[in-house]
Amino acid sequence: MKFGLGVCAAMLHAAAFAQFPFLRTLEVRPGQQRPAISCVVQDPMGLLWVGTDIGLLRTDGERVEVIVRTEDDLVTALAVADGHILAALQSGLLIRCNGERCDTLLNDTTLRGSPVRSIVAHADGRVCLATYGAGVWELDAGVVNKVGTAQGLPDDLVNDLAILPDRRLVVATDQGLAICSAGKVVEVFDGSRGAPDNLVLSVSATASGDIWAGTDQRGVFRWRPGGSEVHLLDSAWSYGPVVSLVAQGDLIWAGTEKHGVVLHDTRSARASYREHTGQQATASGTFGLFVDREGAAWWCDGSDRLYRADPSILFVPEHEGLDLRAITALCTDSADRIWFATAKGVFRHAAAFSEELHVTRIPLILDPRTPIVSLCATADGTVWAASFGSGVFSISPDGHVKRYTTADGLSNDNVLSARPMKNDVWFGTLEGLSRWRDGRMTALAPEAGFVFDVLPQPDGDALMATDGHGVMRWDTALASLSADGPRTFYTLVRDAAGNAWSAGPGTGLCRITGADTRASCVGQGRMPFDDDLYAVANGLGRLVAFGSTGVAAYDPITGAWTDLAAHFGLQDMQAQLNVIATDATGSIWIGCNKGLVRIRPTDHHFDPEVPVIITGVLVDGAAVPIDDEIRTTHDRNDVTIRFTGLYYTDPAALRFEYRMAGPNGTILRTRDREATFSGLPAGTHHFQVRAFVGVPAGNDPWHTLMIVVEPPWWRLPWVIVLAGLLLTVLLVLIVRARDRRVRFRERMEKEQVRFQLETLRSQVDPHFLFNSFNTLVDLIEDQPAKAVEHVDQLSTFFRNILLVRDKDLHTVGEELDLLETYFALEQRRFGAAIVLRVEVEQVHRRDRIVPLTLQLLVENALKHNVATLEAPLVIRIEAASDALVVSNPIAPRLSPPRSTGFGLESILKRYAAFTDRPIEVTRHDGVFRVRIPLIAPMP
């Protein structure tokens, strides 16, 4: 996708045409380029899609986006189908776009020589193409079905298509109309059946089943399939070929080749309005006519401009050379005519305007310097004209004019207003009221002074808007209804519920409720009450106030205000009092410096809310599909949101407020159409935006977009819960392991104490000492040198025991050295009756063992077995793989000594702390064996 900077200007062309609806021109320029616009449609969101010679553009009236850039490949037709935009290119491509994403739906070289002129889409998804040279093409689920002259079509040169309410297809060709159903031609309507012109250039179907067709020479005609009756819209059509056409209820919009757009209102046989602009003289045609959701018509003319006309607002700045931009008084009558006064006199005209309808001047004997300031019409058709200085004039239905002055009972010849009630007429003058009733003029309430306006009541009374006395009521006596409120009021009006309202300079709108209740006012100080006030009218249940600072509507039920100057094209309006009237259809007519203006207000005019749409979302600079919820990750959390408001009346006047909703969500105001948020934290965010014109109401609804930034995996709830569980389990295991170690350490310490105690006991065992001393005595007598060696070994043995008793482990070599000393002491007592054979390789002497293990096992063997010279006790210590095996023959003594069980039990308990391998104790074949696992040396 390519995007261009959009520059869009809105210009009002109200003074350049005689009679035409309120027209705005929007320039569509991507950057500095000036594209030639060939077609335009509105998508379901309300944005405009524009087909040009440089590609497919999208705009909100202010910003322009280039969706597809084609460069010299003209977009010839556009349509909306199932929420998508279909665009046909001159090169034979048919593309489909959804938002900013486009793909190719069809590519056929045949369409290069037979370009697509129109596209329509059925509700079931079928798409029909009008080709100029190859008939009608229907695309159904990727299959192309063709209908041409071979299938009964009058001509393969197809100009336009339309769909009837019964889903049949209307085909406009160079040789007449055709009706198609299910891919077949079921009816042909041409000159042979009464068609005024075979060359049909445009066609439109209505909800009632009528077909309106635009022709080359005869303008527009209406025909219903199955019939032969033809109705010409204008039998004297002089505007040339009708190249585009839209039937909008009672309104027929006809786009001509050289004369702009002609609008016909079929409610009045002669109501037609033609667009007159200097640009249309050189335009190549008026194309792409369509009616938007607000009832306004859009079209293009081959330039870089789009045109928008609101049919509910009609401007008539001049008619038949008569300048209508200085009207001094205005009214309507029961014959659907407009009466107005200018400096050149009093005139009447039909409520409908066309170049064939003429204005009628009513001759009055009046000084040209004396203005007509008020007009009104009674139920019998009489029109009354009030002058400021020459009394009042009655104009009967047959044109008879009669003048009334103070000599005829008028309170003052300077009349400010004239208001009817059935056939009665009330006049406000510089000296109170006057009333015409039953052919008689009566002066009333002179003490009221200046009466700017009067509002007759159904009960025969009248309300007066005065200068200095506020609003007063006349019955048989005069009563002030606003003695404690504003003192000057200009105008009076009755709302749809029958309540009376008044307004003056700075008063706002004041409701007049009764003789004992003062006026209740709203809107003081706001436009248009903050400067000159011209008039207040009742329109569509609202009170519409016109003044020099704008136009505003007030809803008496909801209390809502709506600024309407831009809606009605009445910015910088200037007018006088009594230049407003409401006709039988509810239309408001006003005379101002822009001419005679007719306003038929609709609900959308009074809706202060500007619809807001999200046009694009970028995540880290890349576009993502637009949805109610945008999801992204924590490492892609730079988000740009593009938005706009739909206000084609004056797009440049739009302003926006936006925020990230939350306790600290600051509301930011901007005229830009995008907002960027960098580094959004993980979580759910609610982006809110609203649009407004002028001053925000404060209670406008927010358009909300949810943005979900997913947290990193380690912050996901289930990961946090799982991590918590794992941490809890780990802590429990650590605590339990610690408890086991503590208990084991305590047990080992107790065992070590016990071992040390038992070792100490063994060291001082009386039998051991007695035997050692006896051996020493024998050696002293016989072998003194041996005695000395014996004492030395005994000392070494006890010293070694003291050194190793606090150790957990020591090497096998150290253990064998300790055992060698012990066994040498015992061998001096037993002599050759005991034998110790050690077969442990050097490699195993580096392994570790629990201290005194071998000494205890050898001691137990000597304690529990008989040793004689004839049968010596042979104790073997051998290395076997990762263990030491201590064995001795079983030769139990006849009187075995008392056993404490300490030795072997102590070895088993202490080994359990250092290895899972058990100590194996066996008695087999007369041999006692103990297998002691070796513990690997320290690294």
User: To 5 degrees, how large is the angle CA 700–CA 706–CA 709?
Assistant: 145
**Which candidate, 362, 360, 357, places its Cα nearest to that of 18?**
357
What 3 state SS string does 424-489 have?
EEEEEECCEEEEEECCEEEEECHHHCCEEEEEECCCCCEEEEEECCCEEEECCCEEECCCCCCCEC
Length in residues, the chain: 939
User: What value does the mean pLDDT take over residues 809-828?
Assistant: 87
Number of H helices, E strands in the chain: 9, 76
Q: What are the pLDDT digits (tens) for 530-569? A: 889 999 999 888 999 999 999 999 999 988 888 898 889 8
Q: 70's torsion region: left (phi>0), alpha (psi -120 to 50) or beta?
A: alpha
DSSP helix, strand, coil percent of the chain (3-state; round to 5): 20, 45, 40
pLDDT at residue number 506: 87
Complete edge-to-edge strand list for the sheet that includes strand 491-494: 491-494, 500-504, 508-512, 520-522
Structure tokens at 688: 């809110």
Q: For residue 153, is pLDDT > 70? A: yes
Scanning 376-440, the segments in alpha helix (DSSP H) are none
Average pLDDT over residues 857-875: 89
Q: What pLDDT, on a 0 to 100 scale, did the predictor assign at position 272?
A: 87
Nearest alpha-carbon partner for 491 in 528, 458, 517: 528
Task: State how far the Cα of 225 lies from the Cα of 836, in Å rounded to an integer.
Answer: 129
At 592-635, the pLDDT tens digits run 999 999 999 888 888 878 999 999 999 999 989 888 899 999 99
Question: What's the sign of the alpha-carbon dihedral 862, 866, 871, 877?
Answer: negative
Give the span between the Cα atoms of 543 and 528, in whole angstroms: 12
**Looking at the DSSP assignment, which residues form a beta bridge with residue 491?**
503
Give residue 15's pLDDT band: very low, low, confident or very high (50, 70, 90): very low
pLDDT tens by residue, 718-767: 888 888 899 999 999 999 888 888 887 777 666 665 555 455 444 445 55
Go through 640-664 and write b for each residue having 16 or more CB atoms within 10 A of its CB, e for each that does not.
Answer: bbbbbbbbbbbbebbbbbbbbeeee
Per-residue pLDDT band for 917 (boundaries 50, 70, 90) equals confident
- Nearest-5° Cα angle at 869, 865 to 874: 50
Cα→Cα distances 669→156, 613, 695, Å: 56, 17, 11
Check pLDDT > 80 for residue 896: no
Please indicate whether residue 905 or residue 350 has the higher confidence score (pLDDT): 350
What is the enclosing helix (H) or strand (E) of 272?
strand 271-274
Q: Pick from 422, 427, 424: which is nearest to 385 by CA?
A: 427
pLDDT > 80? residue 519: no
User: How many other C-beta atoms lie within 10 A of the C-beta of residue 189?
Assistant: 25
Q: Which of 546-550, 688-692, 752-756, 789-793 has the lowest mean pLDDT?
A: 752-756
**Closest among 235, 229, 227, 233 to 214, alpha carbons compared:** 233
What region does 345 belong to: left with phi over 0, alpha with psi -120 to 50, or beta? left
pLDDT tens, position by position, 301-332: 999 999 999 999 999 999 888 999 999 999 99
Please tell me whether residue 258 adopts helix, strand or coil conformation: coil
- pLDDT band for position 903 (50/70/90)? low
Q: Which carries the bigger pLDDT value, residue 11 or residue 610?
A: 610
pLDDT at 785: 78
Q: In which band, very low, low, confident or very high, does the pLDDT at 427 lie, cut at 50, 70 and 90?
A: very high
- Residue 7 — pLDDT band, cuts 50, 70, 90? very low
Residue type at position 799: R
Average pLDDT, the chain: 88
The DSSP result for 518-583, as a single string, is --EEE-TTSTTTTS-EEEEEEETTEEEEEETTEEEEE-TTT--EEE-HHHHT-TT----TT-EEE-
Instruction: Return the SS3 of 26.
Output: strand
pLDDT for res 821 = 86
The tens digit of pLDDT for each residue in 232-264 reads 999 889 999 999 999 998 999 999 998 899 999
Cis peptide preceding 937, ω within 30 of 0: no
Can you tell me the mean pLDDT for 78-106? 93
